[in-house]
Amino acid sequence: MATLGIIRHGVTDWNDQYRTQGHTDIPLNAEGRRQAHLLADRIRSEQWQYIYSSDLSRALETASILGEASSIEIRVDERLREMDCGQIEGTTEQERVNRWGYGWSKLDLGIESHESIVKRGRQCLADLANRHAGENILVVSHGAFLSLTMKRLLSHIDIRENLSNTSVTHLHSGTPRWDCSLYNCTKHLT
């Protein structure tokens, strides 16, 4: 069994503006860096062997701050990328309504399907858990990707609450199913 410390990246300007990020490579803002440093202080006393990160800068910078603080090796895995949001990347809800109308979500705007995200997410997390059986690894990724993947992995647990930036969730691989001992914890931010 492996323990995966699931972390959503620190906040960005687009998070603050409620803009869809997707694959657009938006960096952390000052608050996102502050959140990552607070999380780094928290994990410094914990036992993590590796950090896996999305290749997008908001996740990779979060991972780098964590890795530097605890001298943990960082590995990049593109499968941890946020969902591809196609034509809606960079837009707010109101801008989408203005451009495509209230039914915009039913249009083919090049948005990656939930099934595709879940398949990619489940395969990635299973691969990491198998590769690091008996170890504790951190995984730094993105809100939609993580939420959709975990809802499928943890269908036996009520996890409707959206993941907060730099939140920590502990997933445990196992047979016959994954389990969760900590969900969306942000105690380091208070």
Domain tally for the chain?
A: 1
Give me the mean pLDDT over the 137-163 stretch.
92
Q: Which residues are catalytic?
A: 9, 82
pLDDT greater than 90 at residue 165? yes
**Total Cβ atoms within 10 A of residue 127:** 13
pLDDT at position 156: 85
Confidence of residue 183 (pLDDT cuts 50, 70, 90): very high
CA distance 105 to 124: 27
My answer on whether omega of the bond before 27 falls inside 30° of 0, hence cis, is no
Q: How many CB atoms lie within 10 A of CB 117?
A: 21
Residue-number span of the structural domain to which 21 is assigned: 3-189
pLDDT of 158 > 90? The answer is no
Is 131 flagged in the annotation as binding? no
**Residue 14 sits in a domain of what CATH number?**
3.40.50.1240
* pTM for this prediction: 0.95
Annotated binding residue 79: no
